[in-house]
Chain A
């Protein structure tokens, strides 16, 4: 057992050593935030969009959950991107928010798809946590997710390989380090 303790103590000692961070990083951070909006400007409070192009009428919630909002996808836009391949189990939703969760329904029209998964900030971009269910036989897929008030980025994974953003929703304004994605804001007015 002492052998175990030895390696652990030695490893931790090394891992706690300070690391070198570029001194210019602070300036880069401040320059980037100066270019963007202030934290609480109304411009960040994007609202849910109506179903895209009238191609889909969202009329009933799935699983008995209340329908708070709907997002519909009617066309394929955006570029293909490499998405996170997380093995992490789904994380607890909305751990940072204090408000009560709302049931938000996401709907997508993808004729011919065999599987559709909803991925986003709310499930830590897991490729398996939130599979969408076929809502009818016309390529309509839906999933309902409890979301607390806040801003969430998301995208759809089609057949395990193809990624779609949602043209009916705002694009994320801060996806400069990650793949393109859409944004839904819950609780916005």
Chain B
């Protein structure tokens, strides 16, 4: 299988081969889509942010100064789009529907209630600040190094470490309380 590098695809796009961008979209849609889904909490917003990030990435591709690092560059756009869309949604939808019973039913060991556990985690993520959620997801789910997180978020390493730590504390408290109910 002859898989072209990101850098080669970026150069093809900049040379006028728009179709090459489709290969980059296919390459990154799943990972970026997962991040958007975890960050924004629903499929519609996640797909909106994802499409927006891809389009903005294409339109500003000439600013990708390190084509071999296209993935990290695009991830930064994705993070920013999630911030913006999430903030807009926060203003428009302040009412969060939360089923208290979900917490009472959350029990990881019981596979029959795995759905409830998923719902509980999603609920807990919504309770923490976007900055903490972002840091937690980038560190623990996307497994970025702190140096990569600096590149993606623009925040400092100490600030990011603090956010990750606080996010963990908050999530542990929320999830532990849920299991105790």
Which of A14, A82, A98 contacts B65, CB < 8 Å?
A98
Which of B61, B91, B137 contacts A85, CB < 8 Å?
B91
Is the C-beta of B144 less than 8 angstroms from some C-beta in chain A? no
Q: Tell me which residues across on chain A come within 8 A of B155, comparing CB atoms.
A: 89, 91-92
- Using an 8 Å CB-CB cutoff, how does the interface string of A33-44 with B read, 1 for contact, 0 for none? 110111110001
CB nearest to A28 among chain B residues: B51
- Using an 8 Å CB-CB cutoff, how does the interface string of B68-96 with A read, 1 for contact, 0 for none? 00000100100010011101101110000
- Given contact pairs A30-B21, A38-B16, A96-B73, A178 touches B30 in the complex (Cβ within 8 A): no
- Tell me, in angstroms, the Cα distance from A93 to B87 when the chains sit together: 19
Contact present for A19 and B34 (CB under 8 Å): yes
Among B38, B58, B131, max chain A CB count under 10 A is at B58
Is the C-beta of B113 less than 8 angstroms from some C-beta in chain A? no
Contact present for A174 and B29 (CB under 8 Å): no
- Interface size class on chain B is 35 or more
- Using an 8 Å CB-CB cutoff, how does the interface string of A115-143 with B read, 1 for contact, 0 for none? 00000010011000000000000000000
Q: Tell me which residues across on chain B come within 8 A of A87, comparing CB atoms.
A: 129-131
- Given contact pairs A29-B55, A96-B63, A12 touches B141 in the complex (Cβ within 8 A): yes
CB nearest to A20 among chain B residues: B43
The smallest beta-carbon distance between A95 and chain B, in angstroms, is 4
- Given contact pairs A14-B118, A32-B51, A26 touches B130 in the complex (Cβ within 8 A): no
Say whether chain A's binding surface is mostly helix, strand, loop, or mixed: loop
The smallest beta-carbon distance between B107 and chain A, in angstroms, is 11
Contact present for A14 and B121 (CB under 8 Å): yes
The smallest beta-carbon distance between B61 and chain A, in angstroms, is 4
Q: Name the interface residues of B4-42: CB closer than 8 Å to any CB of A.
A: 13-14, 16, 18-19, 21-22, 25-26, 29-30, 33-34, 37-38
Q: Name the interface residues of A1-19: CB closer than 8 Å to any CB of B.
A: 3-4, 7-8, 10-12, 14-16, 18-19
- Given contact pairs A39-B59, A39-B61, A87-B130, A33 touches B85 in the complex (Cβ within 8 A): no
Is the C-beta of B154 less than 8 angstroms from some C-beta in chain A? yes
Is the C-beta of A113 less than 8 angstroms from some C-beta in chain B? no
CB nearest to A35 among chain B residues: B55
Contact present for A18 and B61 (CB under 8 Å): no
The smallest beta-carbon distance between A122 and chain B, in angstroms, is 10
Contact present for B18 and A18 (CB under 8 Å): no
The smallest beta-carbon distance between A182 and chain B, in angstroms, is 16
Contact present for B83 and A86 (CB under 8 Å): yes
Contact present for B34 and A18 (CB under 8 Å): yes
A-B pairs, 4 with minimum CB distance:
A84-B87, A92-B154, A91-B154, A39-B61
